[in-house]
């Protein structure tokens, strides 16, 4: 498996924190056809592998730039901000 795919970052649809696909329950959410959420929203606890940060710490522009790199830095910023009416 490609590292970039396994270790992608995404924004939690519920609380807006930046989470990792390997830790947050991302694939389970997709499988269940639910909004993608972070470990805390999915399982009740933040995993503690890295600090929980809200997307607004980086801002819309930065996150969209990361997504454009297509390297897994960010995978759902466009979708998330569209849904929130921010882009
Ligand atoms: Zn969350």
Q: Are 9 and 74 in contact (CB under 8 A)?
A: yes
pLDDT tens string 27-47: 999 999 999 999 999 999 999
**Cα(59) to centroid of ligand 1, in Å?**
17
**Cα(72) to centroid of ligand 1, in Å?**
19
Residue 25: its pLDDT value, please?
A: 97
Rounded to an integer, the average pLDDT of 55-68 is 97
φ/ψ of 16, rounded to 5, equals 85, 10
**Cα(38) to centroid of ligand 1, in Å?**
4
**Spatial distance between the Cα atoms of 43 and 73, rounded to a whole number of angstroms:** 23
**Spatial distance between the Cα atoms of 51 and 70, rounded to a whole number of angstroms:** 23
**Cα(83) to centroid of ligand 1, in Å?**
16
> Is 60 exceeded by the pLDDT of residue 6?
no
Both tokens assigned to 47: 């995993």
pLDDT tens string 10-22: 999 999 999 999 9
Residue 7: its pLDDT value, please?
A: 79
**Cα(8) to centroid of ligand 1, in Å?**
16
Residue 81: its pLDDT value, please?
A: 97
**Spatial distance between the Cα atoms of 86 and 70, rounded to a whole number of angstroms:** 21
**Cα(3) to centroid of ligand 1, in Å?**
23
3-state secondary structure of 17: strand
């Amino acid at each position: 498996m490609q590292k970039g795919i396994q270790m992608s970052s995404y924004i939690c649809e519920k609380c807006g924190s930046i989470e990792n696909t390997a830790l947050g329950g991302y694939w389970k959410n997709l499988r269940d056809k639910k909004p993608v959420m972070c470990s805390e929203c999915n399982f009740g606890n933040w995993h503690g592998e890295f600090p929980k940060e809200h997307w607004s710490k980086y801002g819309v522009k930065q996150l969209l730039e990361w997504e454009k790199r297509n390297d897994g830095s960010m995978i759902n910023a466009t979708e998330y901000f569209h849904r929130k009416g921010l882009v």
